[in-house]
Structure formats: structure tokens, C-alpha cells
């Protein structure tokens, strides 16, 4: 394994860690109705489990309402059941063709809980980044023992530290953006 391979692998893992945090935080409800609240709900239809966004169009006609329009109206009942079973806390109203979801306003206490939840997602992402750094630095030491010049190993370690700072900043940006979304009316 070369110096470039170690850095490339570390960056790929960092990117994956960041995208996991982004995806997880999309499911956390903000102050407004967004498709992200329900798009990952798993629906049983056509003999398999599919994400809601794969079987319906999700729109937000106003800040407090989600409208789910199935591509095939015959699965509207299954979509309704899946939303009821999900942890969204939303109650679907099915008219046979479309499903409406009213998103009630969040209380101040609930907003604080959600901010704490997103902060925890960010902390988990940072822990993951630190583990990736530890792994990459261990690989750098192994390269050093295997005869890679010391200055190359030093530059690799420096680049790993720079990448960690960059991704920690990105995690903070995702957190701040989601926090702002949660706290706005």
C-alpha cells in the first residue's frame, strides 16, 4: 500500500462518515414540512420493501403539509400503513389517490430535543472521523517500518490531519444548518 492509497482510503471513509450523518439528519424533523421526513419510510408493495420516494412523489404545498402522490394509486393503502408504523409521528389522511400529512408546529422543548439529537449525530460522525484518523496514522507507521522515507510519512500524517479538520468543519456545517432549520418557525 502506498502513501497515496492510505490517504485516498482515509478520505473515502471520511466522506462516507459525513454522508451517513447527512442522511441521518435528513430524517430529523425541522420546523417545516420536508420530503426528507418520510422519503425513507419503507413500504411493502409489489412483493418487496421499497422506499417511499421510489413509489410516490412527495411534495410540500405549504410549510405545514406534505402531499404523497403514489405512482400507482393501488398502493396508497400500503403507503398509509407504512407511514403510520414509522417513527415520524405523522398521521396520514388517505383519499384513495393522494395522502396528506399535516405537520404540527414543534414546541420549544421538542425543538431542543431535536437539536440535541442532531448534535449527537454530529458527535458520532466526529468519533468515526477520529477512528479513521487513528487507522490512517497506524498505516502510516506501518509504511515507515516497511521502508517508506520518513519525510513522505510525515507529509501523509500532515495531510490526514488536514483532511480530518476539513471533514470536522463539514460536520459542524451540517449540524449548524440542521439546527437553524429546527429552530425556525
What's the mean per-residue pLDDT of the chain?
A: 89
Please state the rounded mean pLDDT for residues 95-123. Answer: 89
- Per-residue pLDDT tens digits for 127-176: 999 999 999 999 999 988 998 899 998 999 999 999 999 999 999 999 99
pLDDT tier for residue 185 given thresholds of 50, 70 and 90: low
- Facing residues of 102 across strands? 65
Residues 6 or more apart whose Cβ sits within 8 Å of residue 22: 174
Domain 35-102: CATH architecture, name and number where available: 2-Layer Sandwich (3.30)
Q: Return the domain boundaries, the chain.
A: 3-26+107-183, 35-102
What's the CA angle centered on 52, arms 26 and 22, to 5 degrees? Answer: 15
**Is residue 181 classed as helix, strand or coil in its secondary structure?**
helix
CATH assignment, 3-26+107-183: 1.10.132.20
pLDDT, tens digit, 9 for 90 and up, residues 93-107: 988 889 999 888 888
Predicted confidence band of residue 86 (pLDDT cuts 50, 70, 90): confident
177 class by beta-carbon count within 10 Å (0-12 exposed, 13-18 middle, 19+ buried): middle
Amino acid at each position: 500500500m502506498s502513501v497515496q492509497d492510505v490517504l485516498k482510503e482515509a478520505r473515502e471513509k471520511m466522506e462516507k462518515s459525513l454522508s451517513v450523518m447527512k442522511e441521518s439528519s435528513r430524517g430529523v424533523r425541522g420546523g417545516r414540512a420536508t420530503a426528507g421526513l418520510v422519503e425513507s419510510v419503507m413500504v411493502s408493495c409489489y412483493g418487496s420493501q421499497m422506499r417511499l420516494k421510489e413509489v410516490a412523489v412527495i411534495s410540500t404545498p405549504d410549510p405545514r403539509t406534505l402531499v404523497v402522490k403514489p405512482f400507482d394509486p393501488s398502493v396508497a393503502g400500503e403507503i398509509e400503513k407504512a407511514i403510520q408504523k414509522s417513527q415520524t409521528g405523522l398521521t396520514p389522511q388517505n383519499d384513495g389517490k393522494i395522502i396528506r400529512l399535516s405537520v404540527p408546529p414543534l414546541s420549544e422543548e421538542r425543538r431542543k430535543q431535536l437539536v440535541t439529537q442532531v448534535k449527537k449525530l454530529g458527535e458520532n460522525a466526529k468519533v468515526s472521523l477520529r477512528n479513521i484518523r487513528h487507522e490512517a496514522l497506524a498505516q502510516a507507521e506501518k509504511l515507515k517500518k516497511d521502508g517508506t522515507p520518513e519525510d513522505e510519512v510525515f507529509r501523509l500524517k500532515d495531510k490526514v490531519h488536514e483532511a480530518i479538520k476539513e471533514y470536522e468543519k463539514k460536520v459542524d456545517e451540517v449540524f449548524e444548518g440542521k439546527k437553524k432549520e429546527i429552530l425556525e418557525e
